[in-house]
Structure 1
Amino acid sequence: MNRQMSPSVRRLSALATVGLAVSFTAPAAADDFAALNEVVVADYLLPRYEALADAGSALDAALRQGCGAGTLGADASIAAYHEMADAWMAVQHLRLGPSELFLRADRIQFWPDKRGITGRHLSRLVTEADPAALEPQRFAQGSVAVQGLPALERLFFAPPEGADPAFACDVAVAIGANLKSIAGGMLDDWREGPTPYAAVIRSAAEGNAAYMDAKEASLQFAKALRAALVATTDLKLDRPLSTSAKAVKPRRAESWRSARSLRNIRINIESAEALYRDGGQAGFAALLRRQAGGEEVDKNIATAFAQARARLDALPDSLQAALDQPEGWQHLDDLRSHLRDLLALLSGPFSQTLDLPVRVFVSACGDAAGRFSVKAVAADGRLLSDLQLPGRGHAAARRPGRDEVVVLARRPGRFALVIDPFAGGIVRQIEAAPGRHFYGHAVFSPDGRRLFATENAYAEGQGVIGVYDAAAGYRREDELPSHGVGPHELALLSDGRRLVVANGGIRTHPNSGRRKLNLESMHPNLAYVDAGSGALLQRLTLPGDLHRLSIRHMAVTAEDQVCLALQNEGPRDRLVPLVGLQRDSAPITLAKGPEGVLRRMRHYAGGAALDDEGGVLAVSAPRGGLITFWSSQEGGFLGSLEVPDGCGLAAAGGAGRFAVSSGAGRLLIYDAVSRRSETLRDDRRHGLAWDNHLLAC
């Protein structure tokens, strides 16, 4: 499966980058964004939430009537279920305001459910057959897994074995009443009460507690537009399709029991297109066309939506039925690739041309007073959130499909903080298990359900990977061996089943602070680990005379090329390469680079990142004040940029574009192709020091 952007998208990204420089001279005005917000609220949001509330009421009535007649799966009840699911798919991407309150979105649809929680909790509920469990308040405060559409789908199409039909009907009625209550509550919160959220959006132009201005509110709608595509590609197609026809898992698809997986996607895309296209002269599409270069961007987006609709219209509602057709997997994979191209248009040219920075950069930092925090900065340099940390942070990981980021402590810290970088809230704090501390890096599974974090089992002197269940409040559910000492950065490969771990080889102990205890005998390695069982699949090492070249950081391309950033713990009178490449079962290849560059890097590479297209690798050397650029495929040296104490790196949209942060307080965007840079923030006067790593989300 090719996950790179198509050539046409790459050309358009370049065009939009040129257009961006022009649009800064005459950007969309505040009145334009206020008009956009008004039309989205009045003509898009409120009608869809009204339809959802109506569908909830109809479902409640149908279930009561059907079960009153002793029939759980009456035709009218099943038809009402589909109408409710249709209405939910039309607003599923709108994760803002009322839908975020009281876990409403999760209660309507607890999915993906990788561990089968819905089935287990529903079986227990119907087996125990306790009428008190269905009392409305108690039911609404119970397990979210049994409160919504997935549980109702099971009752209709795959009821628990041995269930009492009468009580199963009672459960269905309780679900119907709960969905009616949730949908009605969301609609009320949008348009009624002392501070209806529609009024919050509309008053953003004057500034309020939720939004600084109208443009910031419009950004939420741009994010929702993109979120519809992210959920479709990353969750609804990637999970069941995997990487080949032989590896498909159709039961990972959304709503597969009711044979509506592709019907859901069709509604998601139709709803996203309506958000983009509708609204007359005040809508996104019209506003985009009025910007420099916007007509070309709009033409390509409109064409991409039309092609997506055509592909979906040619497919049945059921993903399994589509797979059963000749060339079925290929047709679905083509749809997936096409939707990724559409997502790239929305994430890049669309947001750039409208100056709506969907991309946000997150980093831990410290100040001159010794305080530590994590900050989120928009692509236009605005500070979006600033949250205090209990100690020094290191790196962060974004949870797919959610506005959640986990910031991990620097070694030997024991905390990890789950935050919402957009809203500026702390979701949860995670403490390391006894006898363990974090190494500062983590990665999520593609479905966002599990977090894998590198940790030190310091009494044993071995590296481990802590596995946390994000859906269960980040409960630590398992521990895998890292198959080495001092694991640092790790990544999941494209199949979602294999972890690649940089075992730095350096033994440490919290009683010894940050002192390195085994430099003479250290043996770093790159380990491939089964993410489910923890089994070692492959382990690669460097030549024996380089056993003190610590493998620390990495960036991985869509084709699973592993790019490494290394740190030399050996003698300083010997220059050694600090960039490596590895793929499949091939040995690690070291990229030598010019001798003068190696000297400037001063034996230490602090981080690695790939640009959005995966062709350019950036490797930082903060001790030498240098950011270096390399070919991710051949390892050829491409150039460098001087940034004093520059270390944090992240893709910034487009070929060769990177965000760079420094311990001297600067945050900038650099284009390694044109060699132009733009400072986003300069906080040197405030004594701010950005920490080692930068996350783009």
Structure 2
Amino acid sequence: MRRLAVILLALGLAGPARADVDAALDRHILPAFAGFAGAAERLADAAVADCRPRAVAPAYQAAFDAWMAVADLHIGPSETGGLSIAFWPDARGFTGRVLSQLIADEDPVAFDPLGYAEMSIAARGVLALEMMVFDPAYSHYDKGSYACALVRAIALDLSRQAVALEVAWRDGFAATLRSAGGAGNATYLTGDEALRALYTQLLSGLEFTADQRLGRPMGSFEQPRPARAEAWRSGRSLRNVLLSVDAAQALAHTLSGGALPQTDAAAARVHAMAGRVGDPGLQGVSEPQGRLHVELLQQAVRAMRAAIEAEIGVPLGIAPGFNSQDGD
């Protein structure tokens, strides 16, 4: 960390680094959180008006789209606040078990908006709502049923979470990032620490997409795991990959403040490779040809990460191969 600070000061980059953090907040992060809060509110309104699957599904897809713009940020309020918005991976199937128990018991918590906020994270957020709306084991319910009330509760809870997260970033953590190196800021002692924190999120998001969003459904060649794909029930696993890459590209541009030809070319290749996958839920990984296409997509995502290391990390004195998971 000290070596990075010395390099930035020597190159006269300490001022621009802070400006880049401002740009990342003002042009990408804060508008994206506001967009998610608005989309989640519209989803809640749709569920209140008619909580049946066909009425909720369009607003659900729009809210999940909006979430993906900030889904891979795991600092500040999002470090814990994002867990109950998108509980995934769910390796042990907790979401299905908790929802089934709620429905079997007709637990009155579905009629208690404040009480639902205390529910297990497995029964909250976009993935719990996906199971209720898109999984045939849960989605055959009528208006006025307990399951319908549960959908409404999850949607209202998601909207409250989205608003709380947006406010926490806008009125709290954004100032912490902006004031890095200032008196009283114990989180980021220098301006480059804030920049490095966002750069770390950028790399770790792409790493998560390659290893989890694509790696989990691929499993092994002998034992593919298509049902482990993120949001496969709603047919948006591939879309989430692309939206996560688009968000990374946008964040990279705001952090750099300049042209990123390698990164842009790599992002275009990700989209090109995704066009060959065909199955929006990544269920084709069980077939050799389908698996090959997903492997090529995974390689393209990793190549984009390498491009960002070269175009943003190297000028900052952060060597390629930097571990984005260690946080320092």
- Per the normalisation by structure 1, the TM-score is 0.43
In the alignment, the residues of structure 2 paired with residue 95 and residue 347 of structure 1 have an alpha-carbon distance, to the nearest angstrom, of 19
Secondary structure at the counterpart of residue 96 of structure 1: coil
Q: Secondary structure of 2:83's partner?
A: helix
Higher strand share: 1
2: CA distance, partners of 1:125 / 1:210: 40
1:157 aligns with 2:95: no
Does the 8 Å CA contact 1:55/1:83 hold for their aligned counterparts?
A: yes
Q: Give 1:37's aligned residue.
A: 21
Unpaired runs of 5+ residues, structure 2, are none
Deviation at 1:271, TM superposition (A): 0.7
Hey, what does 2:94 align to over in structure 1?
A: 117
Following TM superposition, by how much is the alpha carbon of 1:143 offset from its aligned partner in structure 2, in angstroms? 0.7
- 1:27 corresponds in structure 2 to 11
Q: In the alignment, what sits opposite 2:308?
A: 346
Aligned partner of 1:51 among 30, 35, 40: 35
2:53 counterpart letter in structure 1: G
**Identity of paired residues, percent?**
32
Confirm or deny: 8 A CA contact 2:103 2:147 kept in the other structure: yes
Specify which of 238, 244, 251 is matched with residue 262 of structure 1: 238
How has the CA–CA distance of structure 1 residues 258 and 159 changed in structure 2, closer, same or farther, with 3 Å as cutoff?
same
Who is 1:148 aligned against?
125
Classify 1:161/1:179 alpha carbon distance in 2 versus 1 (closer, same or farther; 3 Å): closer
Does the CA contact (< 8 Å) of 2:256 and 2:312 recur in 1? no
* 1:284 match: 256
Q: Which residue of 2 aligns with 1:65?
A: 49
2:148 aligned with 1:169 = yes
Aligned-partner Cα distance in 1 for 2:98–2:241: 27
Matched with 1:249 is 225
Distance 1:357 1:198, change over 3 A: farther
**What is the CA–CA distance in structure 2 between the aligned matches of 1:150 and 1:132, rounded to whole Å?**
19
Q: Which protein has the larger Cα radius of gyration, Structure 1 or Structure 2? A: 1
2:317 counterpart (342, 349, 355): 355
Alpha-carbon contact 1:255-1:261 (below 8 Å) kept: yes
Q: Find the counterpart in structure 1 of residue 299 from structure 2.
A: 337
Deviation at 1:206, TM superposition (A): 2.0
Correspondence 1:132-143 to 2 at 5 A: 132=109, 134-143=111-120
CA shift digits 1:290-315 (9 cap, x unpaired): xxxxxxxx443332122112222444
Cα distance in 2 for residues equivalent to 1:162 and 1:98 = 32
Q: Kindly tell me: are residues 25 and 63 of structure 1, through their superposed partners in 2, closer, same or farther at Cα, counting changes over 3 Å?
A: closer
Q: Given residue 132 of structure 2, which amino acid in structure 1 is its aligned partner? A: L
Per-residue CA deviation, residues 358-399 of structure 1 (Å, 9 max, x unaligned), is 9779xxxxxxxxxxxxxxxxxxxxxxxxxxxxxxxxxxxxxx
Q: Is the 8 A contact 2:238 2:282 kept in 1?
A: no
Deviations 1:313-371 (A, max 9, x none): 4444613465488832211111112222322343466423212479779xxxxxxxxxx
Query: How far is the alpha carbon of 1:154 from its aligned partner?
Result: 0.9
Q: Pairwise mapping of residues 500-649 of structure 1 onto structure 2 (< 5 A)?
A: none
Q: What amino acid is aligned across from residue 82 of structure 1 in structure 2?
A: Q
Cα displacement string for residues 229-279 of structure 1 (whole angstroms, at most 9, x for unaligned residues): 1111110111111342x53211010001111100010100011011112x4
Structure 1 residue 226: Cα displacement: 0.5
CA distance in 1, matches of 2:115, 2:319: 42
User: 1:161 and 1:93 mapped to 2: Cα distance?
Assistant: 28
Change (3 A) 1:169 1:301: same
Cα separation, partners in 2 of 1:360 and 1:152, compared to 1, 3 Å: same
Q: Which residue pairs with 1:213 in the alignment?
A: 190
Aligned residues: 320
Counterpart amino acid of 2:58?
A
Q: Give 1:285 deviation, angstroms.
A: 5.3
1:410-559 mapped onto 2 (5 Å cutoff):
422=327
Match of 1:108 among 85, 95, 112: 85
Q: Secondary structure at the match of 1:106?
A: coil
CA deviation profile, 1:73-107 (whole Å, cap 9, x unmatched): 12x4100110111111111111111212xx32111
Distance 1:130 1:225, change over 3 A: same
Which residue number in structure 2 is paired with residue 79 of structure 1? 58
Query: Which residue in the other structure is 2:73 paired with?
Result: 94
Residues 263, 304 of structure 2: 8 Å contact kept = yes
Give the whole-Å Cα distance in 2 for the aligned partners of 1:309 and 1:77: 28
SS in 2 for 1:247: coil
Q: 1:105 to 1:198 in 2, by over 3 A?
A: same
Question: Are the structure 2 counterparts of residues 334 and 163 from structure 1 closer, same or farther at C-alpha, using a change threshold of 3 Å?
Answer: closer
Query: Matches of 1:127 and 1:112 in 2, distance apart?
Result: 25
Structure 1 pair 313–48 and aligned structure 2 pair: CA distance change class (3 A): farther
- The alpha carbon displacement at 1:228 in A equals 1.6
**SS, match of residue 93 in structure 1:** coil
Alignment match, 2:262: 300
Query: Aligned to 2:74, what secondary structure does the other structure show?
Result: coil
Aligned to 2:213, which of 236, 253, 262? 236
Which residue matches 1:191?
170
Using CA pairs under 8 Å that are at least 6 residues apart, name the structure with larger relative contact order, 1 or 2: 2
Q: 2:24 is matched by which residue type in structure 1?
A: V
